[in-house]
Amino acid sequence: METTRLTVVSTRLAIAVDREPSGQWTITPFSGSLVTALGPVLRDRGGQWIGWLGTRDTMEETNLRDLMDQGSRLTGYALKPVNLTEEDIRQYSFGFSNQILWPLVHDLPSRCNFDPAYWTVYERVNAKFAEVVAANTCEEDYVWVHDYQLIMVAHHLKTMGIRRQTGFFLHIPFPPLDGFVKLPWRFQVLNALLSYDLVGFQTMRDRRNFIDCVRMLMPKMRVVGHGQIARCLTPDHEVLIGAFPISIDFKQFAEAAATSEVEDQAWIIHANLPERQLILGVDRLDYTKGIPLRLQAFANALERYPELHGKMTLIQVVLPSREEVPEYESLKREIERMVGEINGRFNQVGWSPIQYIYRSLSRMELLAYYRTCEIALVTPLKDGMNLVAKEFCACSIENNGVLILSEFAGAAAQLHNGAILVNPFDIEGVADAIRRACCMESDNRHRRMEKMRRSIQRHDIFHWVNAFLRTGIHKDLDQFPRIEFFVPSPVQAGHER
Ligand code: ADQ
């Protein structure tokens, strides 16, 4: 069947809505990693995005329609909201998704709260998403579902008797068999994944883990093929299983980093922290990102290598995330305590070892940090991919940046030739890597960074999208031609943050 339109389904829509004290609703394009990745694929190509609005406030039908129209003009694609209740959000998102699946796949089962009520609501909310998909798509649509919050969508479509071509991409890791079997709903989850026509993972490691689980837990299913794409033969259809490492819009990052606006800002940052190498950490607030261990490693480097005092500053930027969850709040407090302690211990006149920023940076600020910092310290305990590592390289336009990267980030599979790979649990090992990066000769920096930039440029976000779509529907981005989909209309002042 000829696919004519792309429909993306994810928990959140690509916009944030807010209610002003006057009662007026405002709308801002959302800036998560998925939006960065998929916006270019849908924009002006007649695409649509289905997801939750992200607000718990109720809205009148006419307000909602106006807001969606406005959002569509801002983003360039149609937006179709899924209504979720307070209870849905609590049990499906904060519950099953973030207290069970998230820690489980990141090899932290002791953080899981296997509350059976969470599963019931997870199923129910996935069914709600399936209903919105069914109502807004037809058989010619390709329905591309994203991430661990929505594993059951294709299963529910099938239960409803709705035929759609479906693909699923898991942005987070897939755990090894001995981790996955701890999940009380392991059979339901595996079965649900096998309801899609294509299941994509970030790395070959994740794909291998998934296939191992299918082979061990579902011996009647046959998995064949050892190349890039494997096939699982279920009783009623064939599921393609592949690894598609997600990436960034390399060209856009590199070009934006070269603008005079970013250059000026980058210069100001460095001029305020003169005669030292700047080490950058940029992470969403999350225990998987390894921030406390990273701070310990940084302190260890200061302890063991006093010659580095005054010569380097760590700029740790943390993006607020999941703040309603007590665990995240206590992680924030722990980071702040450690930053205070390390600064208190090593501060000298004119030099603080750590600058700590806890907020969302504007794009220009973020690019300026990427551009001006000599070293990036990306040390997640486990990560599906980690886009920060790729963004830093793309913005290192003089090829003089050094990337210190956790071997447990999906990005390590692609960037191992240029990055200094570290085990984030090895405090002295990371401290040694910091010293090595600080002392690295310019030739070596250039050689390594060039390799990484070339690889990211070749395997950019468009490569990712095309690889997935070609596997799923034998089409690529160019075959969803640009169209005049929305009548451009100016966005009202005050609607952009
Ligand atoms: P995340 O866990 O959110 O994504 P990551 O890939 O690092 O992790 O993306 C974070 C994004 O947020 C980056 O684009 C970064 O620029 C941005 N960001 C971080 N801090 C910021 C700040 N203070 N201000 C503004 N922007 C900030 C999940 C998986 C990852 C996977 C992605 C994409 O956990 O492993 O790489 O999806 O598939």
441 and 383 co-located in one domain: yes
Q: How confident is the model at residue 497 (pLDDT cuts 50, 70, 90)?
A: very low
Can you give the pLDDT at residue 218? 94
Mean pLDDT of the chain: 92
Share of the chain above pLDDT 90, in %: 76
Q: Which residue of the set 171, 270, 459, 463 is catalytic?
A: 171
Residue with the two structure tokens 């920060």: 388
Residues 134 and 279 both lie in one domain: no
| Residues 58 and 203 occupy one common structural domain | yes
Residue nearest to atom 28 of ligand 1 (CA): 171
Mind listing the pLDDT tens digit for each residue in 62-77? 788 888 888 888 888 9
Q: What are phi and psi of 441, to 5 degrees?
A: -65, 155
106 tagged catalytic: no
447 and 466 assigned to the same domain? no
User: What is the residue whose two structure tokens read 């792309």?
Assistant: 6
Domain residue limits at 362: 250-458
Question: What pLDDT digit, counting tens, does each position of 387-446 carry?
Answer: 999 999 999 999 999 999 999 999 999 999 999 999 999 999 999 999 999 999 999 999
Highest mean pLDDT among 263-272, 317-326, 479-488: 263-272
Residues 217 and 266 in one domain: no
Shared domain for 90 and 176, answered yes or no, is: yes
- Co-location of 299 and 395 in the same domain: yes
CATH number of the domain enclosing 157: 3.40.50.2000
Closest by Cα among 456, 474, 446, 313 to 387: 456
Which residue's alpha carbon is at the smallest distance from atom 35 of ligand 1? 384
pLDDT on residue 1: 65
Are 60 and 153 part of one and the same domain?
Answer: yes
CB contact burial 302-333 (16+ within 10 A = b; e otherwise): beebeebeeebbbbbbbbebbeeeeebeebbe
Separation of alpha carbons 206 and 319, rounded Å = 26
Indicate the number of domains in the chain. 2
Ligand 1 in contact with 394 (CB < 6 A)? no
Q: Are residues 359 and 218 in the same domain?
A: no
pLDDT over 60 (residue 455): yes
Q: What is the mean pLDDT of residues 203-219?
A: 96
- pLDDT for 263: 97
Measured from the CB, is residue 395 less than 6 Å from ligand 1? no
More confident residue, 227 or 224: 224
3-state SS class at 141: strand
My answer on whether 388 and 240 are in the same domain is no
pLDDT for res 32: 57
Same domain for 195 and 268, yes or no, is no
- Gap from CA of 121 to ligand 1 centroid (Å): 27
**Top mutation candidate among 11, 202, 386, 392 for ligand 1, by most atoms within 8 Å of CB:** 386
Instruction: Give me the mean pLDDT over the 3-25 stretch.
Output: 85
Contact 193, 232 (CB under 8 A): no
- Asked whether residue 25 falls in the same domain as residue 165, the answer is yes
Residues 335 and 375: beta-carbon distance below 8 Å: no
pTM as predicted? 0.94
Candidates 360, 353, 9; CA nearest to 167 is: 9
Asked if residue 423 lies in contact with residue 405, where contact means CB atoms within 8 angstroms, the answer is no
* 366 pocket-lining for ligand 1 (C-beta < 6 Å): yes
pLDDT category of residue 493 using cuts at 50, 70 and 90: very low
